[in-house]
Structure 1
Amino acid sequence: MNKVIAIVDGCSTGVLIAQEFNRSGFRCVHVQSSANPPRIMTGAGGYHAHEYMATVVHDGNLQETVAFLSTFEVIAVVPGVESGVELADALAAAIGVPCNHPALASARRDKYQMAMAVRGAGLRSIPTLLTRDVAHALSWIHGGIGFPVVVKPPKSGGTDGVTLCDNADALHEAFSALVGKKNILLLVNEALVVQPYTSGVEYIVDTVSSDGVHQITDIWEYGKRLSFNGASFVYDHAWLLPAEGETQALLTQYAKHVLDALGIRHGAAHCEIIMAKGAPVLIEVGARICGGFVPVLCKAAIGRSQIDALVESIVSPAVFKASASEPYKLRNHALRVLLVSGTSGQLDRLPLLKDVHRLHSFHSIQLGVHPGGRIERTTNFFSHPGKIDLIHANRDVLLHEMSVIRELEANGFYEVKKEKE
């Protein structure tokens, strides 16, 4: 077929997008959003050149990149990861292919503007301040918000810079560490988002949309460890939930309203939502597929992934819309166990790794560090040593085998050459 899909920053989990489009008979071109992309986007998960018929590096001139894409019959522009969201929006609008609401483009990327758009739509939202002045933040907090608060960069990724502050000293420390500094996406934090800490269970709702018709592709419930390793929190595990249930119904309805509020009419979205006092409230949305190769795990547990739905929404929109309201069905239970390290240094061996592979529910493992490399104490999403994915028909088997993994971690899973004090 002559029709082409343009993928912006198709790296990390985004490599799967081109693969699926190619399998469906479509060709892809790659757009790199910057001449100097952050390492988090170009390391081991860098884009696969052989999946594309051509590649262009965007140098900041939108018209030049549009001119390059105009030599192909581009029918869709898709972001692969967070760094490609804004450029994908701009290119789609300029080329004239289906795109999200242009006026809300910044609200799909900037966490302060996102919160304002959600509040402006009349949806439940967390009170939010954007400032680079810690005195301003303190005045706002003492004016009725109160501690604890969460501080984070408005345009970073993962849990980069996300800090829980219990008092003024911690707030000063966070502002000193973050304001004016580059984040993991190599953007300078000109100001910080400040929000009251909202307690509750965190969920992920992944979606795909076509012409404003939204489909829920998977829902996850997170488990966290609070005040761990000196960090405010670290993620511990995530459960894939059935599509139907009282909580899922609330999450689904709220997520769809959020998508509308942010002008997300086409493509994938990754919604992070907290159930607080019995009702959902938004943490943030990524207007792209879920990361961490979660679609692979969903494919194994459900038989269909967010990427499958994304491809269908573009190549067969009528088919997509006809089945968008049908809830997905679990073939098996799925659990992602996030590995956690309590120490830093050179990783010498993983002597108990063989025991993980012997688990009845073992599906796959993604190691973020290998023997000979450096392992860090786990303090954020990017310092987990790896992820272990488990799948089984019996949920109790997954619970037991997660506890086995934690026992292994506590009893020699990592052999680390400890650093000198």
Structure 2
Amino acid sequence: MQRHVILVDPYSEAAEFANAFRARGVASVAVLSTPAPLKSYLHGWKPESFSATHFHDGDFAKLVETVRGYDPVAVIPGNEHAVRLVDALVEELFPGTGNVPELSAARRDKWPMAQAVANAGIPHLRTFAAATEEEAADWLRETGLEGRALVLKPRCSGGTDGVHKVEAGEDWRLPFRRLLGSVNMFDLTNDSILVQEFASGTEFVVDTYSVDGELGLVAVVRYSKSARGARIGVYDAEDYLLPEDPLVKVLEAYTRQVADAVGIRTGCTHTEIMLTDQGPRLIEIAARLDGGCAQQAARLATGDSQIDRTVRHHLDSAFSPGYEIVQPTRVAWLSAANSGIMRNAEVLDSMRDLASFQKLGCRYPNGSRVPKTEDLFTTLGWVLLSTPDQDVLDEDTKRVREIEAKVEIEPLDP
């Protein structure tokens, strides 16, 4: 009898789960948590990757019976939107084997997430969810954050969607009004906004895979980001830390505390941490794999990935506690300085001649409309570089920026 795995919202790179399980003789079934594919993820929806697709129309009991009919080896989330539905399905089909059910909201919604971390006594950023300007103003006054630098963001989005920085002394009310009531990348209305003190430092990603409450490091990555006006989530590059780097121990210990606080016991987590002068502070933890091209990059850098560990866990009952660096690897993100019409996409192809070139991702052909890069969803693309020689990697990165500067995006008429 054919074995199956259930992949919930397997958009973009999460579709790679299907290839990895297929290589082990397991067919993948897609379940979308919405009645139709999410508009912001249509470019990453690949229904041909799955043996069947089902849509959740709100009838959970019916969905449980549909999924149960496949006798699945596992139910796995593909992105943030899938987390709570996967928690519920796992508890129905494999009770007691998933993440702590009572803390499901803390693994999806940044407000209960922040509360769980604070309640556990873990060093954290002061955070509040406000449904009105008055609530936000009262909280800022009570905490002494009036006039201080702040970050405003949706509670239940991702990919730095809608993340705004308010400089010290600037009026936070205008971005608050713009965000409140807007619809985020998961087609959810932002009916309250997360207001958070701004953390200055270096941002890191800690990707992990847990089995029965035991957390294993998959990779630790240093982010380079830049700001564009009030938007602070413009990705520039990602680099992998050696496991013996002293920062890895600090970040790992903090991640373990946060994972425990939000009830992580099984599966992938993607944790973003700002390392400040006062120590690590949580930006967010997501109970899903690292997206974008992170799985491809991890395989080049470490010889392993969260997808590979997921397969080994569910098919071999295997657990890996840590990682190694096989060779220097970098993801260089490409940005569009303005919105408009792509006129010379072919200029990016010269990146393929770089000694460390591995893969180029850009979904904008000539004549297509390109958004101004303000977050992960509006990035122009990325190039994956990997080579045994760090000097070559650095030189190729400089060349990438030279090529990126030649991209022509014709502004649209007002």
Structure 1 length-normalised TM: 0.93
The residue type paired with residue 139 of structure 2 is W
Rounded to whole Å, the distance in 2 between the matches of 1:92 and 1:279 is 35
Is the partner of 1:403 in helix, strand or coil?
A: helix
Query: What value does the CA root-mean-square deviation take over the aligned residues?
Result: 1.7
Contact (CA 8 Å) 2:371, 2:378: kept in 1 or not?
yes
Matched, 1:171 2:172: yes
Of 49, 63, 66, which aligns to 2:64?
66
Matched, 1:206 2:207: yes
The aligned residue for residue 118 of structure 2 is 119
| CA shift for structure 1 position 246 | 0.8
Rounded to whole Å, the distance in 2 between the matches of 1:297 and 1:50 is 21
Contact (CA 8 Å) 1:208, 1:313: kept in 2 or not?
no
Of 68, 76, 79, which aligns to 1:78?
76
Contact (CA 8 Å) 2:3, 2:25: kept in 1 or not?
no
| CA shift for structure 1 position 346 | 0.7
Contact (CA 8 Å) 2:31, 2:55: kept in 1 or not?
yes
The aligned residue for residue 8 of structure 1 is 8
1:324-335 equivalent positions in 2, closer than 5 A: 324-325=320-321, 327-335=322-330
**1:98-127 Cα deviation digits (max 9, x unpaired):** 211110011100001001111112211111
Matched length: 411
Rounded to whole Å, the distance in 2 between the matches of 1:142 and 1:368 is 45
Unaligned runs of 5+ in 2: none
Contact (CA 8 Å) 2:33, 2:56: kept in 1 or not?
yes
1:2-401 equivalent positions in 2, closer than 5 A: 2-41=2-41, 43-52=42-51, 54-97=52-95, 98-143=97-142, 144-146=144-146, 147-166=148-167, 170-226=171-227, 228=228, 231-277=231-277, 279-317=279-317, 319-320=318-319, 324-325=320-321, 327-401=322-396
Rounded to whole Å, the distance in 1 between the matches of 2:78 and 2:238 is 22
| CA shift for structure 1 position 167 | 5.4
Rounded to whole Å, the distance in 2 between the matches of 1:90 and 1:168 is 44
Rounded to whole Å, the distance in 1 between the matches of 2:242 and 2:62 is 45
Change (3 A) 1:170 1:364: farther
Rounded to whole Å, the distance in 2 between the matches of 1:260 and 1:215 is 13
Rounded to whole Å, the distance in 2 between the matches of 1:219 and 1:50 is 29
| CA shift for structure 1 position 388 | 0.7
The aligned residue for residue 413 of structure 2 is 420
| CA shift for structure 1 position 5 | 1.4
Is the partner of 1:145 in helix, strand or coil?
A: coil
**1:39-90 Cα deviation digits (max 9, x unpaired):** 122x2210333432x3221111111001111212123110112221111111
| CA shift for structure 1 position 15 | 0.2
The aligned residue for residue 399 of structure 2 is 404
| CA shift for structure 1 position 158 | 0.9
Post-superposition, which runs of at least 4 consecutive aligned residues in structure 1 deviate over 6 A?
none
**1:367-417 Cα deviation digits (max 9, x unpaired):** 03221111122111111111011101122222222122212223x2x1222
Change (3 A) 1:297 1:17: same
Contact (CA 8 Å) 1:154, 1:189: kept in 2 or not?
yes
Change (3 A) 1:230 1:214: closer
The residue type paired with residue 271 of structure 2 is C
Rounded to whole Å, the distance in 2 between the matches of 1:124 and 1:207 is 20
The residue type paired with residue 24 of structure 1 is R
| CA shift for structure 1 position 329 | 1.4
The residue type paired with residue 392 of structure 1 is T
| CA shift for structure 1 position 252 | 0.9
Rounded to whole Å, the distance in 2 between the matches of 1:288 and 1:232 is 23
Contact (CA 8 Å) 1:207, 1:306: kept in 2 or not?
yes
Is the partner of 2:36 in helix, strand or coil?
A: coil
Rounded to whole Å, the distance in 1 between the matches of 2:399 and 2:258 is 38
Rounded to whole Å, the distance in 2 between the matches of 1:158 and 1:217 is 20
